[in-house]
Amino acid sequence: MQGLSCGMSRIVGCRFSVYPMTDNFVDVIKGALEEVDTSKVWSYTDDVSTCIRGRSEHVFDVAKAIFIHAAKTGVHVVFNGTFSIGCPGDSEGDTYMSEDDVRLNEESSQNEQVEAASQFALYPMNNPDYMQVIADQVSEAQEHGTFTKGVHYASRLDGDANDVFKTLEEAFVNASKTDERSHVTMTAAVSANSPSTKDK
């Protein structure tokens, strides 16, 4: 993931939710949050979702860690969110851009082994070549070994959650580098411990 922390001086955000399919979903979410250090991102949670903002690496670090620590309980858990960069008019949380690039949760995430399945879609805005930008990142994902197949409106990734999030991060960051003022969003659903047979 060389270079992923360089040249990304623009703030990245992610609006996401983590859905544990269990009666004690509140405990699973709170338990995961207690294990995640969110001090390098701006964060706000309401009754529908959580929004985190900051440097790209910390946004992905925190998103991945919350998912992994919720999923390691063994409960069927889904992370569903949209990453965004370059949204016109975007502000708030800008002070978090002065944090260094040391990921606070990478070690604890790497200590867990969670098998994940993801469907993601890139949306490069206001770009006539957007289909090519998407195709390039799908090709890139294929080289990671996590890409499984294309499905309607999305691409599928399977593998260890750390690898799946690494591919997601790379696809998003690379797509946003096509232009220093680009506006790119990426939706991602990442699922673990589903009782359904994997369709890969």
- Side chain identity at residue 96, one-letter code: Y
Q: What minimum distance in Å lies between the beta carbon of 40 and its own copies? A: 17
Structure tokens at 185: 């969003």
Helices (H), 37-150: 56-71, 106-110, 130-144
Q: What minimum distance in Å lies between the beta carbon of 100 and its own copies? A: 24
Q: What minimum distance in Å lies between the beta carbon of 2 and its own copies? A: 28
Find out whether 18 is annotated in a ligand binding site: yes
Find out whether 102 is annotated in a ligand binding site: no
Cα–Cα dist 180/184, whole Å: 11
Buried b (16+ CB within 10 A) or exposed e, 170-189: bbbbbbbbeeeebbbbbbbb
Q: Of 118 and 167, which has the nearer Cβ to its own copies?
A: 118
Cα–Cα dist 145/167, whole Å: 9
Q: Of 98 and 196, which has the nearer Cβ to its own copies?
A: 196
What is the binding site for its own copies (CB under 8 A)? 13, 15, 17, 19-23, 25-26, 44, 46-49, 51, 53, 76, 78, 80, 82, 84, 87-88, 90, 92, 117-119, 121, 123, 125-128, 130-131, 151-154, 156, 185, 187, 189, 191, 194-199
Residue 138: partners with Cβ closer than 8 Å, 6 or more residues away: 147, 150, 155, 171
Instruction: Give me the residue label for tokens 């965004």.
Output: 84
Q: Of 173 and 192, which has the nearer Cβ to its own copies?
A: 192
- Side chain identity at residue 53, one-letter code: R
Q: What minimum distance in Å lies between the beta carbon of 154 and its own copies? A: 6
Q: Of 111 and 132, which has the nearer Cβ to its own copies?
A: 132
